[in-house]
Structure 1
Amino acid sequence: MSAHRRVLLLCWSAILLDGFDLVVLGTVLPALLRDHVWGLTPAVASVIGTVGLVGMILGSLVTGTVNDIIGRRRALVAAVAVFSVFTALCAAAPSAALFGTFRFLAGLGLGGALPTAITLVADHTSGERRGRASTVLMTGYHVGAMLTALLGIVVIPSAGWRVMFVIGALPSLVLVPLMLKLLPESAAASAGKPANPVGPLFRGGLLRATLAFWLTSFMGLLLVYGLNTWLPEIMRQAGYPLGAALGLLLVLNLGAIAGLLAAGNVADRAGLRRTLLGWFAAAAVFLALLSVPLPVVALYTAVFLAGVFVFSAQVLVYAYVNARYPDAIRGTALGWVAGVGRLGAVCGPVLGGAMLTAGIAYPWGFYAFALVAALGAAAITIVRPERAQLMA
């Protein structure tokens, strides 16, 4: 197996566990709220979701920066180990406070895994194929999310919610040793190792692009986390049973996989900027459509198409960052785009929780998400089409 394929497969596996772990909270929340575990309310659940995302922000900023200095292989292995250990501890949490603490600590690893894996794959991929490689890599996230939704339907009623966290942590016992043995380091990371990789993000014509990517990533991650955390509960509020609501989460992430496979090919042909604009615009249309009562087939189709465009739009942001920044600071650029963007990931669950508490999540939640997608399209227009060059 070539180094490129080996790196892609191992990083894809890490992102699969990342996706499983991130979506597991949204999968177990209906059961936690229904059974009044720890006296949990939507407001407290939003706080737990938020502290996990705060951990991810810190993980993205720190690990994304450090991987340009200590090496991307070492950073990725550490990130996977950290989020797996604390995900396992979530299964034994005796209180909402400790559960939230473990979600925060798991978030440190989760936040660092994604930008590091994307950077490592890009380092082992030729330039003209990086868009496709990034989107193929991120299918792992949605395979993990689909497995979470599917297992949630089967496991939670029979074995309880705690087992979901055990299932999410166990594969790392195999993956971490495999990465230590088979994952090569990136030549760019080995050669570059800048003393301060953050400063160049704001010099050499990169300031405008950096701020625009932060804003676009904020909008994209608000959509990703808002929908994955609260879609099942929003659909329950609309009158659907729990099984159907989790089924819609499964369909949403199935659409995401189809969208990722399509987006990489389209972007490599039509250009990342143009594809990204179209993807955010289409996401706005289909999210708005979900606010309208639809027949069952039309509803599942609309959810599928929303998944096609919402999730791959955010991945195209990461691919565009890869194309715009020099090799020596791409890990830092991705880490900060993901980290700052995760402020939107904090706002998504908070927005959904507030609307659920107020009893207006359906249909107004979908109007709000559609507006966010439209703002994402507007933000990406700030990025100049030409590639900026680094200046010391």
Structure 2
Amino acid sequence: MGSKGNRLLLLIGTAWLFDALDVALLSFIMPVIKQSWHLSAGSLGAVSAITSLGMMVGAVVCGYLADKIGRKPVLIGTLLLFSVGNLLLTITPSVGWFIAVRFLTGVGLGGELPVAATIIADHFSGTQRARMLVLVDSFWAFGWILASLLSFLVMPKFGWRITVLITALMGFYALLIRRHLPDKTPAEKPNQRPFGAALRQVWSAEYRRATACLSILWFVIMFAYYGMFLWLPSVLVLRGFSLVHGFGYTVLMSLAQLPGYYLAAWLIGKVQRKLVLAVYLFGTMLSAAAFGLANSSLMIIISGAWLSFFTLGAWGIMIAFTPGQFAIDARGMGMGFAQSIGRIGATIGPFLVGALMGVGFKIPAIFMVFVGALILGILVLLFGLRDQDRQ
């Protein structure tokens, strides 16, 4: 890969690190603000939903801007939004202000990943591009580990505001580092189409099939990931398995993601990407069923580790798959649009779990909903998506 590739990997990997750091920190902060501000379940749900809404807007708008004005300035702008948002979050006096600031932060976070992925896709091609994209996605695990350290070591002593302040300062430091991002590639040309025309481009006959299939797949993966990882650990605590909110469990689940990413990166190029992704989605489906049926601490640990392994590995392969489905002038918009649809799944997943529990569904039955969604994803992948890689 070379020193240039390694440097780009580290610079772009910070996008995934900060995205994961924010998602994980929010899951740790929500119980704290629920108690201190005496929030209802509806208000707490709004906190989670508004972040996903911001990410949805950020993905498609920043993806469009990346095609129009260039990848580097937009990627730097997304991190600036994230950092300023977290800085403002430390002084929010009420849940209303908290929700407003979380929307701003979500725009930055949602815009980061599709733009970061397009930069990698622009600078590499073929198997090297796919492997680099999986490897940068592996920084997600490091973001969760960092959030765990802050939540268990800093938050209990200094509170959630100081913890968020630390992440804001880390973001400003990363801004300085990102000045060293490469400028435009020779092939990168501004796409001066208005937003509506750019959106119609990714739904033109040339891209319609890819856009539709990728949007469904991103919806399924984010629906399953956010529904299972953000909500159901709390359900398991109610069933008496308190270990799922422990530091050791959180770190273990994060570490289990890494071999999933690295195996996927190794398999890509040796096996057809569609087949690798299908295997990972099938593994996610089996692990979800086992996790939902788990009735002991040991089963929760084993099935949870496999769930982390397969789910995040599948996410990494999707990151590798998506940019190559679009030519360079439509890549930012195509990636951003597909991920924005995925954010709808990220919003629905956690709410659906709560709604199903409210009408009496048991945990195994709820997990069967995720299994059904994953079956749909596998069918769309195998019969709808072409394994292509545009320059």
- Aligned partner of 2:269 in structure 1 is 268
> What amino acid is the match of 2:378?
A
- Aligned partner of 1:337 in structure 2 is 338
TM-score (structure 2 length as normaliser): 0.91
Are positions 1:112 and 2:92 aligned together? no
- Aligned partner of 1:290 in structure 2 is 291
Please list every run of 5 or more consecutive structure 2 residues that lacks an aligned counterpart in the other structure.
Answer: none
**Is the CA contact 2:19–2:109 (under 8 Å) kept in the aligned structure 1?**
yes
User: In 2, Cα distance between the equivalents of 1:186 and 1:279?
Assistant: 34
- Aligned partner of 2:234 in structure 1 is 233
User: In 2, Cα distance between the equivalents of 1:224 and 1:169?
Assistant: 25
> What amino acid is the match of 2:283?
A
CA RMSD between the two structures: 2.3
Bigger mean CA deviation after superposition, 135-144 or 254-263: 254-263
- Aligned partner of 2:64 in structure 1 is 65
- Aligned partner of 1:101 in structure 2 is 100
> What amino acid is the match of 2:202?
L
User: In 1, Cα distance between the equivalents of 2:389 and 2:241?
Assistant: 49
CA deviation profile, 1:352-387 (whole Å, cap 9, x unmatched)? 333455675634433332322222212223434353
Paired residues for 1:221-260 under 5 Å: 221-241=222-242, 244-245=245-246, 247-260=248-261
- Aligned partner of 2:5 in structure 1 is 4
**Is the CA contact 2:219–2:345 (under 8 Å) kept in the aligned structure 1?**
yes
User: In 1, Cα distance between the equivalents of 2:31 and 2:224?
Assistant: 20
- Aligned partner of 1:129 in structure 2 is 128
**Is the CA contact 1:188–1:328 (under 8 Å) kept in the aligned structure 2?**
no
The counterpart of 2:181, out of the listed 160, 183, 204, is 183
**Is the CA contact 1:42–1:356 (under 8 Å) kept in the aligned structure 2?**
no
CA deviation profile, 1:91-115 (whole Å, cap 9, x unmatched)? 2222111111111110010011000
Paired residues for 1:200-219 under 5 Å: 200-219=201-220
Identity %: 26
**Is the CA contact 1:18–1:144 (under 8 Å) kept in the aligned structure 2?**
yes
In the alignment of these two chains, the number of paired residues is 387
**Is the CA contact 1:60–1:115 (under 8 Å) kept in the aligned structure 2?**
yes
Change in CA separation of 1:155 and 1:242 when aligned onto 2, cut-off 3 Å? farther
Change in CA separation of 1:382 and 1:208 when aligned onto 2, cut-off 3 Å? farther
- Aligned partner of 1:49 in structure 2 is 48
TM-score (structure 1 length as normaliser): 0.91
Give 3-state SS (helix, strand or coil) of 1:166's partner.
Answer: helix
CA deviation profile, 1:9-47 (whole Å, cap 9, x unmatched)? 1111232112101221112223334xx222213332111
- Aligned partner of 1:301 in structure 2 is 302
CA deviation profile, 1:98-140 (whole Å, cap 9, x unmatched)? 1111111100100110001111112222322122111110111
> What amino acid is the match of 2:172?
L
- Aligned partner of 1:173 in structure 2 is 172
**Is the CA contact 1:4–1:121 (under 8 Å) kept in the aligned structure 2?**
no
CA deviation profile, 1:68-94 (whole Å, cap 9, x unmatched)? 110000000000010111122222222
> What amino acid is the match of 2:268?
A
**Is the CA contact 2:278–2:378 (under 8 Å) kept in the aligned structure 1?**
yes
Change in CA separation of 1:7 and 1:251 when aligned onto 2, cut-off 3 Å? same
